[in-house]
Amino acid sequence: MSADFAHLHVHTEYSLLDGFSRVKKLIKRTKDLGMSSVAITDHGSMFGVIDFYKEAKKLGIKPIIGCELYTASRSLRDKDPNFDKRYGHLVLLAENMTGYQNLIKLVSVSYVDGFYYKPRVDIETLKQHSKGIICLSACLAGDVSNALLNRNYKKAKEIAIEYNEIFGQGNFFLELQDHNLPEQKEVNASLVKLSKELNIPLVATNDIHYVDKTDAKAHDVLLCIQMGKTLNDPGRMKFGSDEFYLKSRDEMEELFPYAIEALDNTVEIAERCNVEFDFNTIHLPNYEVPEGYTTSKYLEELCYKGLYERYENPSEEILERLKYELGVINKMGYVEYFLITWDFINFAKENNIMVGPGRGSAAGSIVAYTLRITDIDPIKYNLLFERFLNPERVSMPDIDVDFCYERREEVIDYVKRKYGEDHVAQIITFGTMGAKLAIRDVGRVLDIPYNK
């Protein structure tokens, strides 16, 4: 019997206004309990994966990368309110990098093609992207458990067989949960029976939405903020107990004395999941330069052409500055970055799309100035290039560019055409609640007037 246990069903703060497990607190508590690994399975998204991975690695905890996807009741393209408002849940864990690539593809498809109330996938999409993925049947909202909850054992069996065929024998697990809810105890008995009948292994999880049991009240308030309700609202969404926290192996054994193998299976699954991210290798698109040029030679020619347009008679100091910056850029491997940035800004200017003059540390670069990426003379204002790029502190350059909000999509479309739509992404921005907003929202949930 293993003394270890791995939590494989975990919602962090990136399950927005639903998960109350702050990543740092979650990883620290996992370590304090003597566990060697933990998963991230946020609802329908993988926003928190990198923060989670880095924090886990820092504390010596093995990160298991996953997601709790929403499943469409029919095809993901069906969006009829009479049939498609209901959706199921399914926990997917990446066993390797192939699985990780399939997982991020599934999440992307769920938003781009399947979004209806929630980002959804369907059976056909799962079939296309199942390789390298370990699947758990999820909570009471999972399709198997939901069928059992509705006393439809035959349907539950059919769904379990289908998922087992999609992911392969040994890659699909029937998920036991016990948060002191009578429905779960009833469903668990049927899951055990189903497991024996179909030879599909069991796994025990706790549906973690907060780290400590004492966080249950704060999580309840968070749900009210999400739903726009107060604690006194009788019709609001509410969890049925305060058991949705990070439990120890001993606590899990107390819940599942009849299924110790389901606890041990969590460790076996964790050992199988090996996804490693490389944050040191830079992956930049190839910029095609005219025939007879290397990328560095082409960048140099563009810069010297721009130099004599910017400065009528450049001094030795200016020439040396440009030569120095080009040397640093070339040495650090960022030539393509500057060419790509110059190219789409040049496209915008040639098409009379307004572009900002530049802001931030990039204004300290004479290369950016000669390329007309920025319009602020770093020599005139004595701006430091090292604030932007420093050979002693290797990090990707960050050039902030402002386009006319009415025509910025034209620039994005240009980049998509040039590099391929599947190679272009926009960065998400998360809004966080500051102290004033948090006090206002919590006060509303508690029925405390804001002016008191």
- Chain segment 353-379, per-residue pLDDT in tens: 999 998 899 999 999 999 999 999 999
Residue 428 half-sphere exposure toward CB, CA atoms < 13 A: 8
- To the nearest whole number, what is the mean pLDDT of the chain? 94
Q: Are residues 348 and 383 in the same domain?
A: yes
Contact of 411 with 353, CB cutoff 8 Å: yes
Of 424, 374, 433, which is closest to residue 398 (Cα–Cα)?
A: 374
In this prediction, residues 166-181 reach a mean pLDDT of 98
452 within a domain of the structure (yes/no): no
Q: Is the pLDDT of residue 452 over 80?
A: no
- Number of domains composing the chain: 2
Q: Is the pLDDT of residue 1 over 60?
A: no
406 within a domain of the structure (yes/no): yes
Q: Are residues 51 and 122 in the same domain?
A: yes
Six-digit token pair at 361? 């540390």
Q: 295-315, pLDDT tens digit by residue?
A: 999 999 999 999 999 998 999
Choose the weakest-confidence range: 39-48, 110-119, 278-287.
Answer: 278-287
Six-digit token pair at 250? 């001993």
Q: What is the pLDDT of residue 17?
A: 86
What type of residue sits at position 276?
E
CA distance 392 to 370: 24
Q: Which residues have a Cβ under 8 Å from the Cβ of 99 and sit 6 or more positions away?
A: 93, 131, 132, 133, 134, 275
Q: Are residues 264 and 330 in the same domain?
A: no
Q: Are residues 255 and 353 in the same domain?
A: no
In this prediction, residues 137-155 reach a mean pLDDT of 97
282 within a domain of the structure (yes/no): no
| Confidence tier at 421 by pLDDT (50, 70, 90) | confident
CATH code for position 152: 3.20.20.140
Beta bridge partners of 172: 135
> How many residues appear in the chain?
452
Of 201, 75, 175, 88, which is closest to residue 127 (Cα–Cα)?
A: 75
331 within a domain of the structure (yes/no): yes
Dihedral sign for Cα 32, 35, 36, 37, please.
Answer: negative
Contact of 51 with 23, CB cutoff 8 Å: yes
- Apex CA 249: angle with CA 248 and CA 255, to 5°? 95
Residue 287, Cβ neighbours under 10 Å: how many?
19
CA distance 369 to 364: 8
Q: Are residues 353 and 214 in the same domain?
A: no
Q: Are residues 160 and 265 in the same domain?
A: yes
Q: 55-114, pLDDT tens digit by residue?
A: 999 999 999 999 999 999 999 999 999 899 999 999 999 999 999 999 999 999 999 999
222: containing domain: 23-272
Q: Are residues 260 and 350 in the same domain?
A: no
Q: Which residues have a Cβ under 8 Å from the Cβ of 238 and sit 6 or more positions away?
A: 220, 223
Q: Are residues 249 and 351 in the same domain?
A: no
pTM of the model: 0.88
Q: Are residues 183 and 332 in the same domain?
A: no
7 within a domain of the structure (yes/no): no
438 within a domain of the structure (yes/no): no
Q: Are residues 264 and 315 in the same domain?
A: no
Choose the weakest-confidence range: 86-90, 119-123, 281-285.
Answer: 281-285
Q: What is the pLDDT of residue 428?
A: 82
Contact of 89 with 139, CB cutoff 8 Å: yes
| Confidence tier at 433 by pLDDT (50, 70, 90) | confident
| Confidence tier at 2 by pLDDT (50, 70, 90) | low
CA distance 405 to 427: 16
| Confidence tier at 3 by pLDDT (50, 70, 90) | low
Six-digit token pair at 328? 């640093």
Q: Is the pLDDT of residue 451 over 80?
A: no
